[in-house]
Chains A and B, each alone.
Chain A
């Protein structure tokens, strides 16, 4: 069974009488452990699709099966709980909370993880210990007590990735994760995602950068709200 199955996803924005269809019927199957890049020109609806995939936004119509279960009929709060459990977000603008240290930013999602999942996921490791391990792995252990403003762009994005990993999600969604980084730190970030993929995480990256897309196994190209091409990457 596919991890995610989208069928006929449409997204319409209404401004008064004017309706704009941003997504015009997306069908997409994502298997567990895939590394997918969603590419396309700016304004083509990539972020919109990613937010729908991340259960952060609801499509205007269509169906969304997560592990075979229709999730669009769930309430907002049920979707929130699924997000805490299944999905880790990485954004272009990092969204680190300025008054929290790196470590506390990483620990932030823990309080939203439903109790049962928390018990299951942290049965053999303390969450604080786990957070330190991730930071260690991402080369941030000497920065854990820093505030975000004291970090470089690459360090900020690595902190955001650490935060996305905190709740041990199935799926990592990254929206232009290298958009605000120089090419060296951008590469480093992509290497991390690639490594996470190798460990079995399902990863979806939105980008308009060919270089970034080449890290993925599969490239989904959208244009004007439709998937125009779906191809395997040459690199992998």
Chain B
């Protein structure tokens, strides 16, 4: 066994040019396969992250058409929409919000934060977990209490290492009492900081931060039974279309997110899929041709091996083993190149950088399959060589 391997490697090293081109032929296919699988995995991951953030049973309505700049500034939606949606059956955790980047200050310092005027349920609907203090009560909304729930970045900025509950901050010029701090949420997939936020009741926002004229930027609700999902989404769409033009809003559901994100990767996947399949097939042909030429140039060697007692099977195994070494070398080199190329390629596609084991395994399997398939025909041919004629072929 050891001798077999040693002999095999010597033969491949002896003919470096052949081995090099055989590996090169397969390499392109391997690399592009790794990239395509990594890109698909990356965009799936992104989609799943977004859906997880969004909540798989939730529907989000934002102002403006999708993919058209920052939506936070637009206020196409209104409390009227909210009221009408609230009458639908089968939904819960309906909430809404309006946002404006605003200066928040204490006595000694100030910072810019995203200040949200929010409806009831906002915190629970978006899964903000209260870490210190409390969330909003109905009383806060009814009595227009000037209270705020803040993110970690805000509390750490003004009161590092202190308990912020009960402290006072100025939002614009109005003093608010901090009633709660929510657990760290980190960043959105697009890099927005979720911990530099201040939430206050919507009506209070209207009186203090800016006049809202009953406009909102975002409406969100959840669906009790996800099997009714599409019916409810259509009912909501009907309400919105009655009040607005189709370009004024976007209904974001997990289905839409999936579709949108996979639309990007589908075009890319198709492109790379065609490229890598072509590369692999071409590589397979190149390998096959190289091996054909090779078994003929060393036909005497195969004749000799037969004279020494090699059976057909041994000849086939021998040549397939050579192609297997080529396949493994291509897979290893391709994986290294893949690891080097994944960051730049995936970043340029706005896909989170991932190194899925699946990509490397699929590429390795394909590389081996193509190599074995491509080498099989020359190997078969070689095994059928007539030994006497083959021995006479020796080029002296």
Contact = CB atoms under 8 A, between A and B. Distances in A.
B10 interface: yes
Given A95-B304, A95-B394, A56 B314 contact: no
A100 B7 contact: yes
Contacts of B391: 91, 95
A81 B13 CA distance: 29
Contacts of A91: 391
A93 B4 CA distance: 24
Interface string B364-396: 000000000000000000000001100100101
A89 B3 contact: no
A93 B300 CA distance: 11
B311 A81 contact: yes
B394 A111 contact: no
Interface in B1-23: 3-4, 6-7, 10-11, 13-14
Contacts of A206: none
A230 to B, nearest CB: 25
- Which secondary structure dominates chain B's binding surface? helix
B308 interface: yes
B306 A99 contact: no
B4 A111 contact: yes
A80 B7 contact: no
Interface string A66-97: 00000000001100111111000101010101
Given A107-B3, A108-B7, A111-B3, A99 B13 contact: yes
A124 to B, nearest CB: 20
Nearest to A80: B311
A110 B11 CA distance: 17
A200 interface: no
B88 interface: no
Nearest to B13: A99
A91 B308 CA distance: 12
A103 B308 CA distance: 16
A109 B388 CA distance: 17
Contacts of A112: 305, 308-311, 314
A51 interface: yes
Most-contacted residue by chain A among B14, B306, B311 (CB, 10 A): B311
Given A77-B313, A111-B3, A104 B308 contact: no
Contacts of A170: none
Interface string B289-327: 000000000001100111111111110000000000000
Nearest to A101: B10
A82 B307 CA distance: 10
Interface residues of A, number: 30
Contact of B309 (A93, A98, A107, A109): A109
A97 B304 contact: yes
Contacts of B4: 111
A107 B7 CA distance: 10
Nearest to A180: B396
Contacts of A54: 307
A57 interface: yes
A215 B257 CA distance: 91
Given A93-B394, A104-B3, A111-B3, A99 B10 contact: yes
B4 to A, nearest CB: 6
A51 B312 CA distance: 18
A96 to B, nearest CB: 9
Nearest to A77: B311
Most-contacted residue by chain B among A76, A98, A99, A109 (CB, 10 A): A99
A36 interface: no
Nearest to A175: B391
Contacts of B314: 111-112
Nearest to A91: B391
Contact of B306 (A80, A98, A104, A108): A80
B301 A97 contact: yes
A37 interface: no
Given A80-B310, A83-B307, A109-B309, A104 B396 contact: no
Most-contacted residue by chain B among A56, A81, A85 (CB, 10 A): A56
B309 A83 contact: yes
A19 B175 CA distance: 114
A89 B387 contact: no
Most-contacted residue by chain A among B7, B309, B391, B394 (CB, 10 A): B309
A54 B300 CA distance: 17
Most-contacted residue by chain B among A84, A113, A163 (CB, 10 A): A84
B14 A56 contact: no
A66 to B, nearest CB: 14
Interface of A: 51, 54, 56-57, 76-77, 80-85, 89, 91, 93, 95, 97-100, 104, 107-113, 163, 167
19 contacts: A51-B388, A54-B307, A76-B311, A80-B306, A80-B309, A83-B307, A83-B309, A85-B309, A89-B308, A95-B304, A95-B391, A97-B11, A97-B304, A104-B3, A104-B6, A109-B308, A111-B4, A112-B309, A112-B310
